Each structure stands twice: as structure tokens, then as C-alpha cells.
């Protein structure tokens, strides 16, 4: 009901206060529909009619108290129903002119009493309902983009008061004491939708959702033909009845949902009107509504409030879980553009309309002629594509696919194949149920039909919903079966109308799989259908137009671990490497991309080298015009250079110099990879020298001012690696690189922060007059110390490492002590993360060197947890810890704590370690503890 009201009803332009419905036949129809529904409710659903609403429906009525007869207590200007809830409150309460009703039963009776004023009453009730733009938020909050507010009570947490705004969903300050008011201020992070927020806030919710997700994804997708708004009202009515909890609260939530799903812009000037475009939107909502209805039935175990919340995002969740696309969102569904009814239509429109008429009313001969003639229009042109759709051609074309006439099917697919390049048409084809029909054609004995169907599927399956439909109708298995045709690649083309070569069938199959493989679940389905060995076999051909979709599919799928293992097992790397030498740029790009994906694996990196793939990669670096290919090639080089042997090869091929040349004037996708590769190369002295000699440091430092997170992570890593050379460090210092790195500690992304902090360590180590340099950054020390409040382990470990280096300078150590470094470090001591333990222990031992810090660490209870570090399995942790304990043992109280926590036995074991530093520190610590014990004994007896 809510949906129909928001979408279909025609509201007047917004003034101040309550909105009114325009007087239009449509509105009247909707209101009458509602009245009919409510009036008959008491007879049709007597049980539900007694349910009491959580909050009453309330409006200004024109009814006179005297109209109420038996069943009501009338006194002057007030009316109370004799029917009451369990607290004794009347279910109808009228105090002129305000009326409050709290059950469907009373609503039915009220309408009966209202007689000829029904329409007015119903309208008044609806108009007091919400803002015409669909927002529930008050106007002054709508300006801030807020849509509505929801109260959620999870099983395992306090009631959450949530604001839904166009930026996303967040917790607000909750309900304030005075009735119904909300503290609007944001009190937490912004989440992209309600489900994400709730998953974060409630463990039980998150768990239940993950159980339910499977169920959602199995909900069949029903595509409905266009329906009149009237019928929609009926449908939503049914939904609300089945849900058995018809409260106003719920209606509100429904409204909120439709708003959320559609990400509407709240605006006071937005007025809904019924046009063909709008009615399509309504249609979508109706679908969602139905999904919801079914869902609720299947979730009887969950409390209604939660079920409703979940419903809000059913569609979205379904998208998320079943199709996590590895692709960018270019293929997202676009809004529908219908041609304006009264716009000047091009002549093609009328010609196409005529042809569609012949398609509808012609026999096979006339149909084929009309199809052939339609094919002669410029089907690449949007005007023609949309004209076919707008005159109802898509329905006819899809219907033809279900006939037995092979020629008609061929003709129809030839057209669908062309016009499905248009994103809107793709969506329409899916809406009209075209995909299952095409999937069935994949089984046809006629190869040319199979090819055309597969090619059309390849075009249509460019967006998630379509890919899901293909999978659900068994399309992936059938497409994989097409790949199996490639066996007899040598046969000649046949003359028959319906035949084509087997390789062509396989090619079309691969083309469709390529499109489908952008969804995670499809990747899995391809693998399960045995697609990988078939793709591997097709990869051995030398036809470019076959290789591109095959490698494209593999590259897409290589995002999955399963595939990477299979790619290695099926000896695919060899062929990928071979095709790097192809003449075709697109093929080279996909091969490089696939190598990029797979080369996370060490063995694969070796395989690339052993099959001679590094040289073609290096030489492809020299052609920089094709940026997509360059990004793929540099990506492959980056991942390959994680292996030392590969770096040596790249150096041989002079790739490092070329990479340095690519540090300027390249798009970010390329830069990320180039810098990543250089960062790996920089792990070796020889390469660092090369990078410095060919002027790589300056452009690297220049990149420190960027904003791309991935790029900054790589740049900081590379700059840090360069700073290991004192000579390079001088250049970095001169270019003010250290200050830039330091500023990145303020970056919001933890990865960038940590990477910058790691990079700062060698800078401080190798800078001349490092102490002075560090002091020169105003507020820098305080910033670093405060990062110890982070909750990211990697950030903490890296910041500890930076502090260790800073603290080498006494003056700076004094400053950070003043900033409270000791209590902050002590707070971190209880951790199981060995990386953090190691760096934390190193910092603590370094910080002991100032004032009474030793004592302070003891006071802040850092000593006992440190002792436990000695039980770690990591020798690095042992060494750092022993050194820290040695420093701390200079204080008598700390010695006592260590002794109490069993440090002596642990340290005694360490004394036997082959690591000399560890030996020495452990021994020193024991000797301090022992000396204290002796002193005590001595004191006792003297």
C-alpha cells in the first residue's frame, strides 16, 4: 500500500505542513481501492482485524461524535470505543477534530459510520501520512539528506536508533527524553545500508543473515508484465495481509525500504507523477514487495520487527552474496529512458513499427522477410534499438525464439544480438524472460542457432541480474558444453543454412562465459561444469578471436584461489606466456592480466620465468600508448618481481630503467603497478643504485602527495626501501620526502598509515642529524605518539618501530615521554600478535633510557605481559623482549614482578640460545634479578 501511495498517487506540489492528494481519477481509484480493502477487512480477516497497532493512525476527521452509535461511548466532543486493548485503552478515540484508531476492525467500522464521507476520511488519513517525496524526516533534516529514522532492537544489543540518509545509514543520538524527539546528531560511522550496519552492531544478526543469504539467493526471480497501478494496490494489500501484522509501523518501514533501495534524493520539491517511466519503477517495487512477503513466511522463527528490517535489503543482499562482481560497476543497471510520447519521432520509428506488425501477424515467410528488413536498419543506433522496444518488438522477437521455426529464430537472434549492445535493451530482454529461452536454444542441434544464442547471451549478461538468470537456468553448464565442440577445428565450413564450424560454436560459448564470469557464483559454476580443462585446450589454438574470450574468461576467473591452482595444474601459464608474443594487443593485455592475477603464487612466478615470459613482459613496457595493456603488463611485472630470480632477469632486460621512466605521465592504474614493481626491486642494493642513477627518486617522492590509497601504499614502500641507501636518503631528505611521509601518518587509511610509518624507519636511521630533522616537524612527535591509540595491529607495530628510531635521540625521547608514550605503550602490552610484540618490546627497551621511564613501565603494568612474550615461538620476539626486560630490571620493583611471573626460568633457557644478543640480554637480566635477591638477603642478615 505504501509503495503504491508513494509511487503512484499524485500529490500536490509541496507547500508547508501536510500534503494533499491531487484530485485526479487515479488518486480516486487508489483511495477507493483502499477503502474497499479496509471495509471488507473485518469480514475477510476477522482475526487480523483485532490486532492492535503499535501506534495509532491519526488524522483530523470531519466526523461528528453524534454519528457514533452502539459500541461507542459518546460524551460531548469525545468518542471512545468500547473495544479496548489489554491495557484498557480504547481502540478508537475521537476528540474533535483529532481521531486515533488502532486496529483494522475499528477502521472498518469507522468507514461504515462515515458513509458518504468515506472518501474524505480515507484521504485525510493518508494525507497525514508522510511527506510527498517519500521522506519521513522533518523538512529541516531533509535538507541534510536524511530520509527516515528507524528503531531496531537486535537480540544481543541495545535498541539502536538509526538515521537513513542519502549518504548511507548511521546511528544517531537516540530518542531524547521528551516524547518522540530524536537527537539527530551522528554518533558513529556511516554504513552503506542498514544490513551492513546491523551486521556490524549485532553478532546474532550477522550470523542469521549469513544463514539466510542462501535462502534469498534461491528465491526465483519473477518478471511481471506491466500492470496498471490499480492492480499493484491489490498486490501490496495481499502482501500486507499475509504478513499478519498490519501496523502503521510496518507501513512506515515499507516506505522506508523502497526509499532506501532506490537511493532517492530527498528533496521537498520532488513530486511523483505517473508516467510510463514511473509505472516501471512501481513494478520493480512490487516485485520487491513480493519477495519480502515470501521471505517473511519462510522466517517464522524471527521476530517480526527484525524480519521487516531484513526485508528492506533483500534485493541488495541477493546482489551482494550471489554476485560479487570483480568488475567495475560500469555494468550497473541504468535508469530507463523511454522515448517521450510526444517527442518528434524519427521515420525509422514508424517503419520499424510496421515491420513489428508484420512479425506479429505474418506467417513464416512474411516473418522472415520482416526480420531481414529489420536487420537492414542501423541496429547499432540507439534510436532504432529503442524503437524496436517501444513498439513492442522485443516481446515478439523473444516469442519467436519459442517457436519451432528455425529460420525465424535465426532471424530474431540476429537482431537481438545487435540491439543487446544497448544496456537498456539488455535489461528489457531480461525483464521479458528472454534469457531462459536463449539458454534453452544452446541445446539446439543447429550450430548456427547455438552460436547466435551464445553471442546474444554474451551481450545481455553484462549486468549481475542477467548473469544470475543465466546461471539459475543452467546456462553455465550448457555454455561450457559448447566449448567441447572445439575438437575438430579443421573441418570445412558447411553450406547449409543452419551449420557453422565447431570452432565458431566454441568461440561463441567462450564469449558468453567471458561475460558470465564476472560474477563470483558463475566462476564457481564454470569450474564445477569442468570448464577449466576445456578452456585450457582452446588456449592451444592460434585463432585470436578464440583466444581473446578464452583468456578473458580465465583472467576474470583467476581472481579466485581455486582457479589459480587449476591454472597452474592445467599448464595454462605456458600458453599465457606464449600469447604474450601475439600481435593482438587485447590478447596481450588479457594474458598479462591473467599472469598478474596468478603470480601471487610463488610457483607460478617461477613458471612464468621458466617459460620465458619475463622478456616479452619487459619488452611490452616500451609500448605505452595502450594504457589498458600497459596497466596489465606492469601489474604482471609487479607480481612477478616478488621473486628475486625474476628481478634479476628484469634487471638483465633493463626493465628497471624503463619502469622508472613510467613514473611520470601515466594513469594511476599504471602507476600503482609500476611503483609496486619498483618497491619489490628496491629490496636489493644493486637495483636501488639503478633507480637512483636513472633519477627514480624524485618522481617517487613526488607521488607521495597523491590520494590513491593503493598507490600511496606502494609509493611509501618504495621510498622506504630506497631510504636504506644513505646516498638515496640524502636525495629524499633534500626533496622533503620525510615530511611528506610524516604527513601520511594522518591519512585515513590504516594501510597507508602503516606503510608510511614503516618507510619512516629507514629514513630516521639514515638521515644525517636525524634528531634535529624529527624535531623540525611541528607537532610530529605528538602525532606519532597518539597513533598508539590506533586499533590496527599493523599500524601499531609500525608506529612502535618509528618510535624506536625516534627514541635514539635523547631530546626526542624526552619529548615523547612528555607526550605520555609510556602509559600508551604499556596499554598495548597484552597482545598475542608476534609482530607487534617484537616492535613493542624494542620500543619499550629504547624508551627505558630516559628519566624514570623504567619505573613508569612497571607502574603501568607492562612488565608481567612482557615476561609472557618469552613463551612465544618467535626468536625475534625473544630477543627484543629479553632486551626490554634487561632494561626494565634496572628497577628493583620490576625485578620482583619478573621473578613473580617466572621470568628467571624462561630467561635461563634463553641464555643457551645461539643468538648472542639474546644470550647477553637474558644473562644481564638474570644477573640484575639475582643481584637484587642477594642485596635483600644481605640486608636481612646484617
Q: How far is the CB of 449 from other proteins (least distance, A)?
A: 10
Nearer to other proteins, 203 or 497 (CB): 497
* Residues paired with 160 in a beta bridge: 152
Contact indicator for 634, 662 with CB cutoff of 8 Å: yes
Binding test (CB under 8 A) with other proteins, winner from 13, 228, 497, 689: 497
Q: How far is the CB of 369 from other proteins (least distance, A)?
A: 6
Told to check if 410 binds other proteins by CB under 8 A, we report yes
Site stretch for other proteins (CB under 8 A), options 48-56, 71-79, 324-332, 491-499 = 491-499
Q: How far is the CB of 22 from other proteins (least distance, A)?
A: 37
Binding test (CB under 8 A) with other proteins, winner from 36, 117, 372, 783: 372
Nearer to other proteins, 497 or 908 (CB): 497
Told to check if 380 binds other proteins by CB under 8 A, we report no
Nearer to other proteins, 7 or 414 (CB): 414
Told to check if 361 binds other proteins by CB under 8 A, we report yes
The string over 98-132, giving b where at least 16 C-beta atoms fall within 10 Å of a residue's C-beta and e elsewhere, is ebbbbbbbbbbbbbebbeebbeebbbbbbbebbbb
The string over 781-797, giving b where at least 16 C-beta atoms fall within 10 Å of a residue's C-beta and e elsewhere, is bebbbbbbebeebbbbb
Told to check if 370 binds other proteins by CB under 8 A, we report yes
* Nearest Cα residue to 269 out of 142, 118, 109: 142
Contact indicator for 367, 358 with CB cutoff of 8 Å: yes
* Nearest Cα residue to 673 out of 732, 722, 740, 624: 624
Told to check if 290 binds other proteins by CB under 8 A, we report no
Burial classification of residue 236, based on how many CB atoms lie within 10 Å of its CB (0-12 exposed, 13-18 middle, 19 or more buried): buried
Residue owning grid cell 537516540:
174
Site stretch for other proteins (CB under 8 A), options 495-503, 619-627, 704-712, 738-746 = 495-503
Told to check if 358 binds other proteins by CB under 8 A, we report yes
* Nearest Cα residue to 498 out of 445, 539, 461: 445
Site stretch for other proteins (CB under 8 A), options 148-156, 324-332, 358-366, 521-529 = 358-366
- Local structure of residue 191 (DSSP, 8 states): B
Told to check if 362 binds other proteins by CB under 8 A, we report yes
- The mark string for 626-665 relative to other proteins (x by CB under 8 A, - otherwise) is ----------------------------------------
Nearer to other proteins, 120 or 407 (CB): 407
Site stretch for other proteins (CB under 8 A), options 34-42, 356-364, 532-540, 804-812 = 356-364
Told to check if 491 binds other proteins by CB under 8 A, we report no
Binding test (CB under 8 A) with other proteins, winner from 178, 179, 329, 376: 376
- Local structure of residue 160 (DSSP, 8 states): E
CA distance 302 to 209: 11
Contacts of 934 (CB under 8 A, 6+ apart): none
Site stretch for other proteins (CB under 8 A), options 184-192, 198-206, 492-500, 567-575 = 492-500
Nearer to other proteins, 32 or 446 (CB): 446
Told to check if 611 binds other proteins by CB under 8 A, we report no
| Cα radius of gyration (the chain) | 36
Contact indicator for 587, 577 with CB cutoff of 8 Å: no
Grid cell listed for 439: 539458454
Told to check if 354 binds other proteins by CB under 8 A, we report yes
Told to check if 498 binds other proteins by CB under 8 A, we report yes
Told to check if 375 binds other proteins by CB under 8 A, we report yes
Burial classification of residue 751, based on how many CB atoms lie within 10 Å of its CB (0-12 exposed, 13-18 middle, 19 or more buried): middle
Contacts of 633 (CB under 8 A, 6+ apart): 588, 589, 592, 617, 620, 621
Told to check if 350 binds other proteins by CB under 8 A, we report no
Chain positions 434 to 473 lying near other proteins, rule: CB under 8 A, are 445-446
Site stretch for other proteins (CB under 8 A), options 151-159, 364-372, 502-510, 633-641 = 364-372
CA distance 877 to 866: 10
Told to check if 366 binds other proteins by CB under 8 A, we report yes
* Nearest Cα residue to 385 out of 444, 344, 323, 428: 428
> Which residue intervals of 703-789 are DSSP H helices?
709-722, 726-734, 737-743, 750-766, 770-776, 780-786
Nearer to other proteins, 295 or 391 (CB): 391
Told to check if 411 binds other proteins by CB under 8 A, we report yes
Contact indicator for 242, 297 with CB cutoff of 8 Å: yes
Q: How far is the CB of 226 from other proteins (least distance, A)?
A: 24
Q: How far is the CB of 377 from other proteins (least distance, A)?
A: 12
Told to check if 392 binds other proteins by CB under 8 A, we report no
CA distance 731 to 725: 10
CA distance 910 to 917: 10
Q: How far is the CB of 454 from other proteins (least distance, A)?
A: 19
Told to check if 788 binds other proteins by CB under 8 A, we report no
Site stretch for other proteins (CB under 8 A), options 323-331, 407-415, 568-576, 642-650 = 407-415
Told to check if 371 binds other proteins by CB under 8 A, we report yes
Q: How far is the CB of 498 from other proteins (least distance, A)?
A: 6
Q: How far is CA 405 from CA 236, 376, 399, 449, 776, in A?
A: 40, 21, 11, 11, 83
The string over 568-600, giving b where at least 16 C-beta atoms fall within 10 Å of a residue's C-beta and e elsewhere, is eebebbbbbbbbbebeeebbbbbbbbbbbbbbe
Nearer to other proteins, 281 or 456 (CB): 456
Told to check if 365 binds other proteins by CB under 8 A, we report yes
Longest dimension (CA), the chain: 123
Total residues contacting other proteins by CB under 8 A comes to 28
Point out which residues bind other proteins (CB under 8 A): 354-355, 357-358, 361-366, 368-373, 375-376, 404, 406-407, 410-411, 445-446, 495, 497-498
Amino acid at each position: 500500500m505504501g509503495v503504491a501511495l508513494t509511487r503512484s498517487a499524485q500529490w500536490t506540489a509541496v507547500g508547508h505542513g501536510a500534503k494533499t492528494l491531487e484530485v485526479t481519477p487515479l488518486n480516486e481509484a487508489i483511495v477507493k481501492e483502499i477503502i474497499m480493502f479496509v471495509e471488507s477487512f473485518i469480514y475477510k480477516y476477522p482475526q487480523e482485524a483485532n490486532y492492535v497497532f503499535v501506534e495509532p493512525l491519526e488524522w483530523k476527521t470531519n466526523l461528528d461524535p453524534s454519528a457514533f452509535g452502539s459500541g461507542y461511548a459518546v460524551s460531548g466532543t469525545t468518542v471512545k470505543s468500547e473495544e479496548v486493548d489489554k491495557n484498557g485503552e480504547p481502540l478508537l478515540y475521537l476528540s474533535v477534530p483529532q481521531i486515533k484508531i488502532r486496529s483494522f476492525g475499528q477502521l472498518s467500522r469507522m468507514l461504515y459510520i462515515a458513509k458518504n464521507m468515506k472518501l474524505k476520511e480515507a484521504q485525510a488519513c493518508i494525507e497525514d501520512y508522510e511527506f510527498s517525496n517519500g521522506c519521513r524526516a522533518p523538512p529541516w533534516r531533509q535538507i541534510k539528506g536524511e530520509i527516515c529514522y528507524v528503531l531496531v532492537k537486535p537480540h544481543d544489543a541495545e535498541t539502536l536508533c538509526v538515521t537513513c540518509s542519502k549518504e548511507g545509514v548511521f546511528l544517531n543520538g537516540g530518542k531524547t527524553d521528551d516524547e518522540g524527539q530524536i537527537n539527530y546528531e551522528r554518533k558513529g560511522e556511516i554504513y552503506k545500508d542498514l544490513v551492513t550496519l546491523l551486521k556490524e552492531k549485532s553478532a546474532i544478526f550477522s550470523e542469521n543473515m549469513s544463514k539466510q543469504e542462501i535462502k534469498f539467493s534461491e528465491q526465483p526471480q519473477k518478471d511481471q508484465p506491466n500492470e496498471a497501478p490499480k492492480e499493484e494496490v491489490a498486490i501490496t494489500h495481499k502482501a500486507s495481509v499475509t504478513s499478519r501484522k498490519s501496523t502503521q509501523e510496518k507501513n512506515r518501514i515499507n516506505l522506508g525500504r523502497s526509499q532506501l533501495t532506490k537511493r532517492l534524493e530527498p528533496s521537498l520539491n520532488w513530486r511523483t507523477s505517473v508516467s510510463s517511466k514511473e509505472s516501471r519503477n512501481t513494478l520493480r517495487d512490487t516485485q520487491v514487495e513480493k519477495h519480502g512477503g515470501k521471505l517473511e513466511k519462510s522466517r517464522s522463527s524471527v521476530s517480526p520487527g527484525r524480519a521487516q528490517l531484513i526485508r528492506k535489503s533483500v534485493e541488495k543482499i541477493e546482489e551482494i552474496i550471489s554476485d560479487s562482481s570483480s568488475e567495475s560497476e560500469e555494468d550497473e543497471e541504468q535508469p530507463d529512458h523511454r522515448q517521450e510520447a510526444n517527442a518528434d519521432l524519427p521515420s525509422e520509428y514508424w517503419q520499424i513499427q510496421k515491420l513489428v506488425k508484420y512479425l506479429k501477424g505474418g506467417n513464416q515467410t512474411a516473418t522472415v522477410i520482416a526480420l531481414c528488413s529489420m536487420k537492414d536498419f542501423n541496429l547499432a543506433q540507439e534510436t532504432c534499438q529503442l524503437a524496436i522496444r517501444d513498439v513492442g518488438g522485443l516481446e515478439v522477437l523473444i516469442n519467436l525464439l519459442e517457436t519451432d521455426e528455425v529460420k525465424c529464430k535465426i532471424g530474431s537472434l540476429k537482431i537481438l544480438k545487435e540491439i543487446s549492445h544497448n544496456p537498456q535493451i539488455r535489461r528489457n530482454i531480461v525483464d521479458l524472460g528472454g534469457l531462459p529461452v536463449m539458454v534453452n536454444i544452446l541445446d539446439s542441434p543447429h550450430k548456427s542457432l547455438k552460436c547466435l544464442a551464445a553471442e546474444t547471451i554474451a551481450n545481455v549478461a553484462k549486468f549481475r541480474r542477467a548473469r544470475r538468470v543465466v546461471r539459475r537456468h543452467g546456462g553455465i553448464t550448457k555454455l561450457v558444453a559448447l566449448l567441447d565442440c572445439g575438437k575438430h577445428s579443421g573441418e570445412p565450413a558447411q553450406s547449409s543454412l543452419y551449420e557453422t564450424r565447431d570452432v565458431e560454436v566454441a568461440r561463441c560459448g567462450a564469449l558468453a562465459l567471458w561475460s558470465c564470469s564476472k560474477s563470483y557464483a558463475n566462476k564457481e559454476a564454470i569450474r564445477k561444469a569442468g570448464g577449466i580443462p576445456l578452456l585450457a585446450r582452446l588456449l592451444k589454438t592460434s585463432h585470436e578471436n578464440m583466444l581473446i574470450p578464452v583468456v578473458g574468461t580465465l583472467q576474470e576467473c583467476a581472481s579466485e584461489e581455486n582457479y589459480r591452482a587449476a591454472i597452474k595444474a592445467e599448464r595454462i601459464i605456458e600458453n599465457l606466456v606464449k600469447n604474450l608474443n601475439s600481435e593482438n594487443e587485447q590478447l596481450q593485455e588479457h594474458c598479462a592480466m591473467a599472469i598478474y592475477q596468478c603470480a601471487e603464487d610463488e610457483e607460478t612466478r617461477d613458471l612464468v620465468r621458466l617459460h620465458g615470459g619475463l622478456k616479452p613482459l619487459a619488452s611490452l613496457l616500451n609500448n605505452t600508448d595502450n594504457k589498458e595493456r600497459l596497466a596489465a603488463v606492469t601489474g604482471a611485472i609487479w607480481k612477478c618481481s616478488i621473486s628475486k630470480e625474476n628481478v634479476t632477469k628484469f634487471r638483465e632486460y633493463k626493465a628497471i630503467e624503463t619502469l622508472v621512466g613510467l613514473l611520470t605521465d601515466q594513469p594511476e592504474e599504471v602507476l600503482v603497478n609500476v611503483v609496486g614493481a619498483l618497491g619489490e626491486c628496491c629490496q636489493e642494493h644493486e637495483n636501488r643504485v639503478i633507480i637512483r642513477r636513472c633519477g627514480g627518486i624524485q618522481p617517487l617522492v613526488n607521488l607521495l602527495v597523491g590520494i590513491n590509497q593503493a598507490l600511496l601504499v606502494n609509493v611509501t614502500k618504495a621510498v622506504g626501501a630506497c631510504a636504506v641507501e644513505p646516498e638515496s636518503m640524502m636525495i629524499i631528505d633534500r626533496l622533503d620526502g620525510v615530511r611528506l611521509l610524516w604527513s601520511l601518518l594522518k591519512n585515513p587509511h590504516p594501510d597507508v598509515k602503516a606503510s608510511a610509518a614503516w618507510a619512516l624507519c629507514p629514513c630516521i636511521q639514515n638521515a644525517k642529524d636525524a634528531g634535529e630533522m624529527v624535531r623540525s616537524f611541528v607537532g610530529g612527535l605528538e602525532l606519532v605518539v597518539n597513533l598508539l591509540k590506533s586499533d590496527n595491529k599493523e599500524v601499531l607495530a609500525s608506529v612502535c618501530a618509528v618510535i624506536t628510531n625516534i627514541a635514539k635521540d635523547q631530546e626526542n625521547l624526552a619529548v615523547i615521554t612528555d607526550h605520555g608514550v609510556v602509559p600508551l605503550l604499556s596499554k598495548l602490552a597484552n597482545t598475542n600478535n608476534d609482530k607487534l610484540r617484537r616492535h613493542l618490546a624494542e620500543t619499550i627497551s629504547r624508551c627505558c633510557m630516559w628519566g624514570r621511564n623504567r619505573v613508569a613501565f612497571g607502574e603501568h603494568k607492562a612488565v608481567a605481559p612482557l615476561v609472557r612474550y618469552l613463551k612465544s615461538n618467535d626468536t625475534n620476539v625473544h630477543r627484543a623482549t629479553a632486551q626490554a626486560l634487561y632494561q626494565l630490571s634496572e628497577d628493583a620493583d620490576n625485578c620482583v614482578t619478573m621473578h613473580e611471573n617466572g621470568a628467571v626460568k624462561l630467561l635461563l633457557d634463553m641464555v643457551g640460545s645461539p643468538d648472542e644478543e639474546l644470550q647477553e640480554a637474558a644473562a644481564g637480566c638474570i644477573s640484575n634479578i639475582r643481584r637484587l635477591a642477594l642485596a635483600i638477603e644481605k640486608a636481612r642478615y646484617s
